Structure 1
Amino acid sequence: MLVLIGSFLLLMLVGAPVAVALATSSLLYLVIYGVAPDIIAAQRMIAGVESFPLLAVPFFVLAGNLMNIAGVTGRIYSFALALVGWMKGGLAQVNVIGSVVFSGMSGTALADAAGIGTIEIKAMRDHGYPVEAAVGVTAASATLGPIFPPSLPFVIYGMMANVSIGALFMAGILPGLVMTGLMMATIAFFAYRRGWGSDTPFSVRRLFAASLEILVVLAFPVAVYALYAAGLSLNIAVGLALIALIALDWYYDFSAVMALMTPVILIGGMTMGWFTPTEAAMAAVIWSLFLGLVRYRTMTLRTLVKASFDTIETTASVLFIVTAASIFAWLLTVSQAAALFSDFVFSLTDDWWTFLILVNLLLLVVGCFLDTIAAITILVPILMPVAARYGIDPVHLGLIITLNLMIGLLTPPVGMILFVLSRISKLSIERTTWAILPWLVPLVAALLLITFIPQITLWLPTQLGLIR
């Protein structure tokens, strides 16, 4: 076990990529101790990615890329500006609301930061906000991407922990709303302290237009229920309501109705049993193509090819990490590291509160050094047995792990959002880090609430019958 973990840490310290460090340390352990034939090791690596839920990874990544090239991010920004731009610190509030909407499409924090974050930082800078404030609020709001459904980290966690991905998706909604509320309250505090004003004049007409778009989206499930209650089959009811919505959007040319429909279609489809979370990723791609090719007509063959190659590159890197981490996690189990860790933690405390404090501290440190996918793949087999001994629900544990690792994306030395926003804002890594620090407060507050009040996470999936 010392060779496995020690060689991995050494390779990380000398700057080796995470996947290379995982694969090399695993191979070194196999060569020295000969715990399994080469063919078994190869089979374990292949088994790590030979999973139906992992099909969601390329499709959700592709859906996010297609939404970006379809011009949906600009429409979401315009919608959020009309809705909350008149508040104090208006563009900062727009930043959060825009991320909430975009998170229902992309499933990743990096897509949020690099997509709509680019528009938001430029707009805030042009309106006189300090660039540090723009970077900080963009970084904090980007963490909403993997909390609201759909979520790539939830897909990986669900596969590793053998937990319903649909339950994880539903479990993220209330925590996401809690995080949104805390971020908006933090913005209001900074706006009061720093004298930030509103960025667009209050307009009843614009506010009414934005509110009308929300009402139109909310009317969709009501219309489906009414048609179904009138005796139509569910499929026909949904089809008729969707046709009516598309016709209405085409006639009035709403800013973001069709974009707002994305999470409604995905969550509604999964709730009604039309498709699994994996199939929901494919539905997201089809909807993205419809918006870009038919509704908005902003996609070209060149942009489609670029989105496809970007998706291939991202998927390859994610699955390479999963493959390498799978054999590493298997060797941790074979070497009894998981059992030893479980006995050690249980000897420290028999209180679940204390255990979760230790887990949070561990994950916050790990998140500073490891990629999210690698961290989930390595740590879940170790933490799951221990959490089970404390009676902690695996869905609750999944939210805790994911939020901790999202905070890790904002911190050096390997925080990917840190590097993305540093490049977008043209700030040094040091200045970007200092800009983000104050915005960790609402994230840590949300983490504490979600950790120690399990009902925030578990209430909705329990009501929907996804967990008992």
Structure 2
Amino acid sequence: MLLILGLTVLLTMVIGVPIAFSLGLGGSLALFIGSEVPPLLVIGQKVFRGMESFPLMAIPFFVLAGELMGKSITTKLINFASSLVGHIRGGLSQVTTLSSMFFGGVTGVGVAETAAIGSIIIPAMDKKGYKKSFAAAVVAASSTLGPIVPPSVPMVIYALSVGGSVSIAGLFLAGVIPAILITVFFMIVSYIIAIKEKHPVEGKFSFANVLRSLKEAIWALFMPLIIVGGMISGIFTATEAAVVAVVYALFIGFVVNKDLKLKDLPEYFVNTSVVTAIVLMLLGVSKIASWVLTVQQVPSMLSEILLSVTESPMIFLIIISILLFIVGCFIESSAAIIMLAPILAPVAMSFGVDPIHFGFMLVMNLMIGMITPPVGVILFVATGIADIKFEALIKAIVPYIVVAYFVLLLVIFFPALTTWIPSLLGY
């Protein structure tokens, strides 16, 4: 059964079949050929159960909240970031990174962040004399902050993929310190490049300007605080928090900023439906493959193999990181999370790795994969906006990829970076 499953998934992926169909076909063939259990019964049950979980409702609502807020507050967040760091040499690159961190607290989706911020920042940087490849690299790299800063859609997907055994709020909180570290290191890299390339210095710092732009951006900045704060305090669950986020976004768009139009809502609903349908299909069909792997005791066998190699949790995490690095280069992050999390999470527990630490490490690793060639999804979005060759972007983004993996190593070797804040709050 395992051979049939593995070969089918691998061959169909190589010829370009979408991941969901590859998993579904591989799992179904394995059942029909090698299982004594009625295949149609297992397929129907697993697909339905994979999609019937009530907490899954958090995904469409978080995505919709990001759609509603994205168009409304992007410029305001950029202006606020500009008031804080725009006066530094190469200020627009600094603004991009800081804006992405703020914007990540609204969308939680990397690709959406690239499109929203990149469509504004890249043309602006081009007019100021920055290289398009550099502008696209900064936008693409900074967009990885979206799924790391709470709230994060990939972290919701991870928690649901492992059967709800990990707290979504705990995963959200785990991202706070690493997100700050990545932001700081990205800004340092941009500053070094700015000195080398003699990027311009624009304006001077003005506290009055900070207060003015903060007043405009404050409603957007409150959103992650309301969501995460409500979950931590027990006022609402992750699903309820997602609904609150949508209501809040509608209030901001229609009442506060008054830039959200009824005629725009169908487009946002369609975009949300597409993203949700993809995730649900992946979750549903992945349960077939997961059942085959569980019946064949793959997690136990993998755990035994790795324990025979090393008993060190750190060595285990490095081995898994190398695996995730390879996977992240070729497979979209949500699909990779759904495929690998149910297998690797039990193995991590056998090594005594904290579930929140491992979950965040896995998500962060795959997010970096979104800017790693040859199939980094964010890279293709950024090249499309900047209208440059893929090769030019790859050369410019290498320093940011190196820095991102350095922060990942810090997360691996110092688990407290992800577990300290959640432990303070009882997770």
Write the distance in 1 (CA, Å) between the matches of 2:151 and 2:60. Answer: 13
- 1:204 Cα shift? 4.4
> TM-score, normalised to structure 1's length?
0.88
Q: Identify the residue that residue 41 of structure 2 maps to in structure 1.
A: 39
Structural RMSD (CA): 1.4
- 1:264 Cα shift? 1.7
More off after superposition, 183-192 vs 278-287? 183-192
Write the distance in 2 (CA, Å) between the matches of 1:207 and 1:113. Answer: 25
Alignment match of 2:410 (pick from 449, 452, 455): 449
- 1:86 Cα shift? 0.6
- 1:90 Cα shift? 0.5
User: Does structure 1 retain, via aligned residues, the 8 Å contact 2:114–2:382?
Assistant: yes
1:355 maps to 2:316: yes
Q: Identify the residue that residue 345 of structure 2 maps to in structure 1.
A: 384
Q: Secondary structure at the match of 2:145?
A: coil
Q: Identify the residue that residue 65 of structure 1 maps to in structure 2.
A: 67
Write the distance in 1 (CA, Å) between the matches of 2:179 and 2:310. Answer: 30
More off after superposition, 338-347 vs 288-297? 338-347
User: Does structure 2 retain, via aligned residues, the 8 Å contact 1:322–1:373?
Assistant: no
Q: Which residues of structure 2 form unaligned runs of 5+?
A: none
Q: Identify the residue that residue 54 of structure 2 maps to in structure 1.
A: 52
CA shift digits 1:260-292 (9 cap, x unpaired) = 111121122122211112211111111110111
Cα distance 1:48–1:98, how it changes in 2: closer, same or farther (>3 A)? same
- 1:35 Cα shift? 4.3
Write the distance in 1 (CA, Å) between the matches of 2:133 and 2:194. Answer: 14
- 1:385 Cα shift? 2.1
- Counterpart of 2:253, as a letter, is G
Write the distance in 2 (CA, Å) between the matches of 1:194 and 1:378. Answer: 42
> TM-score, normalised to structure 2's length?
0.96
User: Does structure 2 retain, via aligned residues, the 8 Å contact 1:66–1:307?
Assistant: yes
Q: Identify the residue that residue 240 of structure 1 maps to in structure 2.
A: none
Q: Identify the residue that residue 401 of structure 2 maps to in structure 1.
A: 440
Q: Secondary structure at the match of 2:106?
A: helix
User: Does structure 2 retain, via aligned residues, the 8 Å contact 1:61–1:106?
Assistant: yes
User: Does structure 1 retain, via aligned residues, the 8 Å contact 2:20–2:285?
Assistant: yes
1:140 maps to 2:141: yes
Q: Identify the residue that residue 169 of structure 2 maps to in structure 1.
A: 166
- Counterpart of 1:42, as a letter, is G
- 1:293 Cα shift? 0.8
Q: Identify the residue that residue 199 of structure 1 maps to in structure 2.
A: 202
Write the distance in 2 (CA, Å) between the matches of 1:35 and 1:134. Answer: 56
- Counterpart of 2:49, as a letter, is A
Write the distance in 2 (CA, Å) between the matches of 1:187 and 1:435. Answer: 11
Structure 2 matches for 1:47-446, cutoff 5 A?
47-69=49-71, 71-161=72-162, 162-210=165-213, 213=214, 254-446=215-407
User: Does structure 2 retain, via aligned residues, the 8 Å contact 1:90–1:200?
Assistant: no
Write the distance in 2 (CA, Å) between the matches of 1:73 and 1:203. Answer: 21
User: Does structure 1 retain, via aligned residues, the 8 Å contact 2:108–2:146?
Assistant: yes
Write the distance in 2 (CA, Å) between the matches of 1:425 and 1:31. Answer: 48
User: Does structure 1 retain, via aligned residues, the 8 Å contact 2:6–2:26?
Assistant: yes
> Which 4+ runs in 1 deviate beyond 4 A?
none
Between the two proteins, the alignment pairs up a number of residues equal to 423
Larger radius of gyration: 1
User: Does structure 2 retain, via aligned residues, the 8 Å contact 1:89–1:188?
Assistant: yes
Write the distance in 1 (CA, Å) between the matches of 2:37 and 2:121. Answer: 52
Q: Identify the residue that residue 226 of structure 1 maps to in structure 2.
A: none
Q: Identify the residue that residue 217 of structure 1 maps to in structure 2.
A: none
- 1:57 Cα shift? 0.7
Q: Secondary structure at the match of 1:176?
A: helix
Indicate the percent of aligned positions where both proteins have the same amino acid. 42
Q: Secondary structure at the match of 2:216?
A: coil
Q: Which residues of structure 1 form unaligned runs of 5+?
A: 214-253
Cα distance 1:35–1:454, how it changes in 2: closer, same or farther (>3 A)? farther
User: Does structure 2 retain, via aligned residues, the 8 Å contact 1:106–1:112?
Assistant: yes
